[in-house]
Every structure is written in structure tokens, then in C-alpha cells.
Amino acid sequence: MAFLLTAQLSFGQYPPPAGYPGTTAMYKDSSAFRAWASGCTIEVGYINFVDTTVTYLDNNKASYGFPEDATGPPDNFVVSLGDRGVATLTLPAPVYDSSGPDFAIFENSFSNEFLELGFVEVSSNGTDFVRFPAVSLTPESPQIATYGSLDATKIHNFAGKYRVFYGTPFDLNDLKDSLSVDISAVTHIRIIDVGGCVLPGYQAFDSQGHIINDPWPTPFNTGGVDLDAVGLIHIDPQAIPVRMQTTPFHIFPNPAQSVVYIDYTLHSEVQLTVISSLGKIFFPDQPITQSSQLNISDYPPGLYIARFTLEDGTIFQSKIIKQ
């Protein structure tokens, strides 16, 4: 297996997978990262954009995870984009071009070969986006199957090139000739799932006109790019606003098997909703009081979002992990 992979890599022209000499993969704990994307909005794609009647768990669109799973450091809690789905990340301060990569995008592939790719775009105003020149040298046929393999040495400037906990780096200098973005002050980063289908009428093309071929169809709720995090390298820490604790709600123990306790000191009526990563509501919009407890013993193991709504409409969200 090692010999076959080495032989395969020799035919590529771009950096190899994480763990191989010459890779550009950046591990999540690298000291190069100064901050992480702080906000995310999602335009969810279909699980099969060729046949939108295809469903999984009664849903024809990707339904795994929450937008906030793409913020903060990589933790393998992800949000799935689906075919041609779009994630737009906001940053705690502008990212600027300097020597080497300026940011990196983390996907959660379980191997070096099963790769789900995304275009990457940036903006300095949140409206006008410019796409990185990406290249796919993967043969345009036959279609890469649902759990098929890609060769990282044939992929350049796509999100999803590297496996879980290894970020794909991007250098704003690649966009130095663009008049539509100020590479000294990038405020938004966008990831767009490529789709990966090679059927006429559904194809996506790289910057050189090649048809992009990646695993398709992926007709399940985790289809498409599974976005974990965006690490920011060239960012001025002094420009990052000092913010209060993200949420005033304290949940403990967490993870838990049976009961979690919820503490807060706000002087407001609070409604709690608990939602699974698949979108199922387990605790529907019920009032809670300070020092409440929540019985999760009957919940299936996994990730849940506790959504707290205050009487003025303000919403806070926290994660609960059921063991």
C-alpha cells in the first residue's frame, strides 16, 4: 500500500498529503494561528443536486451540524455544506497578505484520499468576492464514486485537500492583481462545495478549465464539504475586539451521560430548546430558571445545541455532548 501511494504521488505536481515530505498541511495546534473565524452563515446545498427528490432522514439537503461548528479552533464538530453549499465566514479582525500563507481551512476527511473539495473566495466588504485560482488535475472521467479516492498532489488551492485537523493554507498574494479585493484587509472568507459531478450541465470547472471530479453522489446528511474551522495567520491581535464571555450560560458536567445542570445570572426570562446535530428537537422551547437541570439520559449519544432565548429576543447557544 505504501509503495502504491508513493508511486501515485510521484505523478502529481502539488504538495502531498499531511505526513509526507513537502506537504503544506498545517496542524491545528500550529503556533502560526493567531485567531479563528468568529462567525458563519450557511446556504445549505442538496444531498444530490442532480436529483433533488433524493432524501436522507426525510430531508433533501445536508443537515449535519450547525454554522457555529465552523467557528473557533478545529474540534471535529463540523457543518456539512451539501452539493454546491456555501459557507461565509466573518473574522474578528481583517486578515492581511504577508510572507507565506495568510489563513488555512480545516475539513474533516477521515483519510488522505477521501477528499471533498470546495472553492475558496475572499472579500474586503462582504459583497464582492474573489475566487482563488484553483487547479484539479484529477482525470475528468470516470466519475469518482461516493467513497472514491483523490490524489492530493493533483489538487491546488481547494479547501478540503487535507485530512481532519490539518488545514489547507491559502496565500492572499495569489490575488494581488485583483481589483475587487483589498488583500491588506480581508474581512470575509467563503467556501463553496464544488459538487464534483462530471455529468454535462452539472460540471464545475477549475481556473484552467478542467472539469472538477470528486466523490459524488454523497446522498446523506453529511454530504459535501464538512467545514470545521478557518485558522487566521496574518491578523493583528490588537485589532480583535475584547469581548465578554461568549455565553452567560454554564452547562456542567459536559460531556455527560444522564443529567446536566444549567447556571446563569441574567435577570431575564429564558426559553431553552435542545436540538440534535441532525436537527431533531429534544427539548422544545421551554422556560427554565437559574440553576436548572436537564435530563438527557434518553438522548442518543452525540452532539446537541442548547439554544437559550431571552425575553428581548437575544439568542445564546452552547454545545452539550451526550456520552
Q: What is the mean pLDDT of residues 120-147?
A: 97
Question: Of 277, 269, 256, whose CA–CA distance to 76 is shortest?
Answer: 277
Burial 133-163 (b: 16+ CB within 10 A, else e): ebbbbbeeeebbeeebebbbbbbbbbbbbbb
Nine-digit cell string for 128: 464582492
Say what the pTM is.
0.79
Residue 281 has a pLDDT of 87
Residue with cell 474533516: 108
Task: Determine the average pLDDT of the residues in 64-83.
Answer: 92
Helix, strand, or coil (residue 3): helix
pLDDT digits (tens, 9 = 90+) for 198-232: 999 999 999 999 999 999 999 999 999 999 999 99
Residue 98: burial class (beta carbons within 10 Å; 0-12, 13-18, 19+):
middle
Q: Which helix (H) or strand (E) holds 263?
A: strand 259-263
> 303-320 pLDDT, tens per residue?
888 888 888 777 788 888
Summarize pLDDT for 84-103 with one digit per residue, the tens.
Answer: 999 999 998 999 999 999 99
Q: Which CATH number fits domain 24-235: 1.10.1760.20, 2.40.50.140, 2.60.120.260, 3.40.50.1240?
A: 2.60.120.260
Q: Which pLDDT tens digit goes with each residue over 255-266?
A: 899 999 999 888
269-291 residue pLDDT tens? 899 999 887 778 899 888 998 88
Per DSSP, the residues of 126-175 read SS-EEE---EE-S-S-SPPPTT----GGGEES-BT-SBTTEEEEE-GGGG
The DSSP call for residue 30 is: -
CATH 3.30.70.270 fits 250-322, yes or no: no
Helix (H) or strand (E) holding 7: helix 2-9
Measuring CA to CA, which residue among 162, 121, 135 is closest to residue 24? 162
Lowest mean pLDDT among 64-68, 87-91, 146-150, 215-219: 64-68
pLDDT at position 6? 39
Radius of gyration of the chain (CA): 21
Where do the structural domains in the chain lie, given as residue ranges? 24-235, 250-322
